[in-house]
Amino acid sequence: MKNKTILITGGAQGIGLGCVNHFLTRGWNVTAVDIHEMKPDDRFHAVRGDTSLESTAQEAVAETLERFGRVDALINNAGISTIGEFNVDALPLEEWNRVIGINLTGYFLMAKHAAPHLRQSKGAIVNIASTRAVMSEPDSEAYAASKGGVVALSHALAISLGPDVRVNCISPGWIETREGARHSEADCRQHPAGRVGVPQDIAELAEYLISAGFVTGQNFTADGGMTRKMIYEE
């Protein structure tokens, strides 16, 4: 994987940061895009920007090519959640548009501008969706719609960009991004795997999908089995 280059959005924290660190340790050059400031390094380039804006996608791809000369993979991960903040009858249109803009439109924009270069490298895209694409809790309309859209966008892109570029999707479940967080036995019992997920779990699956040459157009649920288990109130 040495000298290969990956673009990762939302790379300053959470799953995105886990992917950044994982691919750096695997020898990749990495460009991360985030609204938060990040410190660049020899094989790490940082672009500060809002991925819902087309100018950010253009800048990220252009700077990656200038710095590393190629784009071999893209992980679309940047996202926001407003679950529980607004009842559906009080959800402001501007808030709906903000969530859709970052969580879905941003993925399209990054894929649009990376696509010509991914074709050249016979590369791959991994989009990070969520189990909320197929299950919901109250007052999650914008988030659920955006993540369902990511799943659909992924198989559409796989058809449009194939065979040169493969596109897959990961739907994480409960991924703990806080260091040292403790979970109750009840929390862990929700997961047949016996634990809550960590960003490394998603990074490893993303690496597999980037290298798996016969896999495209698929959505992989990474939730420790939680969405397969019947849960009763105690």
- In DSSP notation, 46-80 reads EEES-TTSHHHHHHHHHHHHHHHS---EEEE----
pLDDT digits (tens, 9 = 90+) for 145-190: 999 999 999 999 999 999 999 999 999 999 999 888 889 888 898 9
pLDDT on residue 191: 94
Indicate which residue of 107, 143, 208, 232 is catalytic: 143
Contact 19, 199 (CB under 8 A): yes
Give the C-alpha separation, 20 to 15, whole Å. Answer: 9
- 143 is known as an active-site residue: yes
| Domain ranges across the chain | 5-177+199-224
Q: What is the pTM of this model?
A: 0.95
Positions of the chain with pLDDT lower than 50, given as ranges: none
DSSP class per residue in the chain: -TT-EEEEESTTSHHHHHHHHHHHHTT-EEEEEESS----BTTEEEEES-TTSHHHHHHHHHHHHHHHS---EEEE------TTTS-GGG--HHHHHHHHIIIIIHHHHHHHHHHHHHHHHT-EEEEE--GGGT---SS-HHHHHHHHHHHHHHHHHHHHHTTTSEEEEEEE-SB--STT----HHHHHT-TTSS-B-HHHHHHHHHHHHH-TT--S-EEEESTTGGGS-----
Q: How far apart are CA 151 and CA 156, in angstroms?
A: 9
User: How high is the pLDDT of residue 1?
Assistant: 59
Q: Report the distance separating Cα 72 and Cα 168, nearest Å.
A: 14
Q: What is the pLDDT of residues 86-96, one digit of tens each?
A: 999 999 999 99
Residue pair 43/156 in contact (Cβ under 8 Å)? The answer is no
- What pLDDT sits at residue 85? 87
**Could you name the CATH architecture of 5-177+199-224?**
3-Layer(aba) Sandwich (3.40)
